[in-house]
Amino acid sequence: MNIVNIAWKGIKTDFRDIRTLFFMLAFPILLMLVLGTALSNTFTTGLPMEDIHVLYKDTSNSENFQFFITETEKSGIHYKEAIENQDGEKAVKQMKYDGYVEVKEDGIQLFLNNASSIEGNILQGMLSSYVGQSNIAAEIIKTAPDKVESAFTREQPNDFIKETSLLPDKQPGSMDYYAIVTTTMIILYGAMGSSSLIVSERVRKTGNRLIVSPVRKSEIFIGKVLGSLVVNSVCIILVISFSKLFFNANWGDNLGLVSLVLLTEIVFAVSMGIGVSFLTKTSAAPTIFIMLFAQLSSFFGGAYYKIENPEGIFKFITELSPLTWMNTAITKIIYANDFTAAIPAITINLTGSLLFLLVAIISLQRREGL
């Protein structure tokens, strides 16, 4: 019961502290919004395309090209028939149109203002396909005219080629990415709060009162750790919920496993904060150390900008950041359903937590007070 009372007292104290609420709730949400909006273009995987405008002249006396126009206009290609004596090539050179098409009995000519442009490649590809079908139709007419319609209207088999995407389109957008990295970053910063769990008792001179009370050291220690875990977990749940509801951030369909990975990071952050507080001699030292560690981990862990394919010594440095493992694991779980990616992150977090807690427990046992 003493453990629950101590934990509950810590929870109430933290939630009454406006600075704690701002830092753990408002700060990550604002950072998520600013970075996710300002750097949205760096996560764009598609290329915006404007409508393509084509001038044409059809002297083939065939309905095939008109059918081709009708179908391709559905894809954003706009056609305009050239008036009599209009110089189509000149109009293209003057950039009035993206291309000029002359359809004659003996073939098709295409004039482009920039043959290497995306618009030019699209027009070339579509017209090549049209010419290929027209040639096939011409050969069928020579041998079996009654089979022309069925050759182009029957259902085509689609199992000749099996496609496997090595770089799937399912990638995080800017808001999705910064929702993940900001959440993992703010969890690590939560170590600063836990570093003062015992130190604050010493500073306020209340540690001795706790020691002489009918409460064991282990109960005080466990109660404070438990209260800090609850506070940090609630704050992270609120941040995730806010990003999902208002920013439409993608946290995937395996939120349970993602939450487990985040929970182990919370345990690591709280344990690190307590462990560092026992390793240092002054009350200000734990905050300085954790701030420096969290800043470097955030920088090299991709919290401020996306780090892709690091090499050499830079790759080695990024892998020293616990946030690199966290962000990689969560991203793979969400976008690749790779559940095994959680194992390294969970292992690192729990191993680090165990080491810091052992330091704190051994130090606490050697002290007469807190």
Q: Is the pLDDT of residue 138 over 50?
A: yes
Q: Is the pLDDT of residue 66 over 50?
A: yes
Report pLDDT for 145.
64
Both tokens of 28, joined, read 């990550």
* Segment (H or E) for 36: helix 27-38
267 or 283, which is more confident?
267
Q: Which residues contact 108 (CB under 8 A, 6 or more apart)?
A: 101, 102, 127, 130, 131
142 pLDDT band, cuts 50/70/90, is low
pLDDT, tens digit (0-9, with 9 covering 90-100), for 110-132:
888 775 577 777 878 887 877 77
Which residue, chain included where needed, has tokens 């028939």?
A: 81
Range from 48-52, 92-96, 332-336 that averages highest in pLDDT:
332-336
Q: How far is CA 332 from CA 71, 115, 186, 211, 249, in A?
A: 40, 40, 20, 47, 15
Q: Is the pLDDT of residue 265 over 70?
A: yes
Which residue, chain included where needed, has tokens 């101590």?
A: 6
Q: Of the ranges 30-44, 109-123, 229-243, 300-314, which one carries the lowest mean pLDDT score?
A: 109-123
Task: Enter the pTM of the model.
Answer: 0.69
Q: Are strands 99-104 and 107-112 parallel, antiparallel or unpaired?
A: antiparallel
In this prediction, what percent of the chain has a pLDDT beyond 90?
38
Distance CA 106, CA 83 (A): 21
Q: Is the pLDDT of residue 295 over 60?
A: yes
User: Which of these, 9, 12, 16, lies nearest to 219 by C-alpha position?
Assistant: 9
The yes or no reply on domain 52-153 and CATH 2.170.120.12 is: no
Report pLDDT for 163.
53
Alpha-helical runs (H) found in 247-321: 255-279, 285-300, 312-320
Report pLDDT for 251.
95
CB atoms closer than 10 angstroms to residue 190: 29
Q: Is 342 exposed, middle or buried (0-12, 13-18, 19+ CB in 10 A)?
A: buried
Report pLDDT for 94.
81
Report pLDDT for 70.
81
334 pLDDT band, cuts 50/70/90, is very high
242 pLDDT band, cuts 50/70/90, is very high
The answer for 248, left when phi > 0, alpha when psi is -120 to 50, beta otherwise, is left
Range from 18-27, 87-96, 241-250 that averages highest in pLDDT:
241-250
pLDDT, tens digit (0-9, with 9 covering 90-100), for 168-214:
556 788 899 999 999 999 999 999 988 888 887 777 777 667 666 77
On whether the CB atoms of residues 194 and 270 are closer than 8 A, the answer is yes
Q: Is 259 exposed, middle or buried (0-12, 13-18, 19+ CB in 10 A)?
A: middle
Q: Is the pLDDT of residue 157 over 70?
A: no
Q: Is the pLDDT of residue 49 over 90?
A: no
260 or 157, which is more confident?
260
Q: Is 368 exposed, middle or buried (0-12, 13-18, 19+ CB in 10 A)?
A: exposed
Report pLDDT for 150.
57
Report pLDDT for 167.
44
β-sheet bridge partners, residue 32: none
Distance CA 108, CA 99 (A): 13
Distance CA 276, CA 349 (A): 16
Report pLDDT for 160.
45
Backbone angles phi and psi of 180, in degrees to 5: -70, -55
